[in-house]
């Protein structure tokens, strides 16, 4: 790991620790750097603002998900494995991420940023699973996987098990429901959002599709 990566990890860890302790609104690049004892000038050079913390962390989560991808199994199996590796990457900053999720309804700018970032991440997952993401079919397929991720993310937010068994069950259920509501994994339609997955109360399942 290069020195820049070590610096970035230290600052991101500090940011999510601050979020867990005092809420996402308390987080800034400067505050995270001060709390971690990192040079402010280097923090400014590496992170233009708080959004950059989230984007950098999202790329790391994607890299963790994409590590070890094989050609074995079906596209659904490969997606399940990748998304669970992505959840494993989220675990190290669990409380800070939960604080971020609680803040999103009152922070539309961050919600929009994360929505776009999540669509890009899910397109990467689909491509790594051997599925096309171009054209209308690809757009619908990406939209469907975002819905799957959002549903499983809500389970992860509540899942306090050591092995994330609740998250795994929710993800498997969501992928299965998505197959039932269309052939989007093979190039057909896609669910419009969390509606095909109704196990959570409507006020939770119907939240805006922003994610991490």
**CA 115 and chain centroid, separation:** 9
CB 81 within 8 Å of CB 94: no
Q: CA-CA-CA-CA torsion for 170, 174, 177, 182, nearest 10 degrees? A: -170
- Global pTM reads 0.86
Confidence band for 184, pLDDT divided at 50, 70 and 90? low
pLDDT at 212: 80
**Residue-wise pLDDT tens digits, 23-60:** 999 999 999 999 999 999 999 999 999 999 999 999 99
Confidence band for 131, pLDDT divided at 50, 70 and 90? very high
Confidence band for 180, pLDDT divided at 50, 70 and 90? confident
pLDDT at 178: 84
């Amino acid at each position: 790991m290069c020195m820049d990566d070590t610096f970035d990890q230290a600052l991101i860890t500090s940011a999510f620790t601050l979020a867990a302790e005092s809420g996402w609104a308390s987080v800034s690049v400067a505050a995270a750097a001060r709390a971690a004892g990192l040079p402010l000038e280097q923090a400014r050079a590496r992170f233009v603002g708080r959004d950059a913390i989230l984007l950098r962390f999202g790329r790391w989560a994607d890299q963790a998900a994409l590590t070890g991808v094989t050609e074995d199994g079906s596209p659904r199996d490969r997606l399940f494995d990748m998304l669970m590796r992505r959840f494993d990457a989220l675990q190290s900053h669990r409380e800070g991420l939960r604080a971020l999720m609680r803040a999103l309804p009152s922070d539309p700018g961050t919600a929009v940023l994360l929505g776009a970032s999540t669509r890009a991440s899910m397109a990467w997952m689909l491509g790594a699973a051997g599925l096309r993401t171009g054209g209308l079919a690809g757009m619908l397929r990406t939209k469907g996987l975002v819905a799957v991720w959002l549903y499983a993310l809500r389970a992860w937010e509540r899942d306090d098990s050591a092995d994330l068994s609740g998250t795994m069950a929710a993800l498997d259920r969501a992928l299965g429901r998505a197959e039932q509501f269309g052939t989007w994994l093979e190039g057909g339609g896609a669910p419009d959002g969390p509606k095909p997955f109704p196990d959570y109360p409507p006020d939770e399942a119907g939240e805006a599709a922003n994610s991490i």
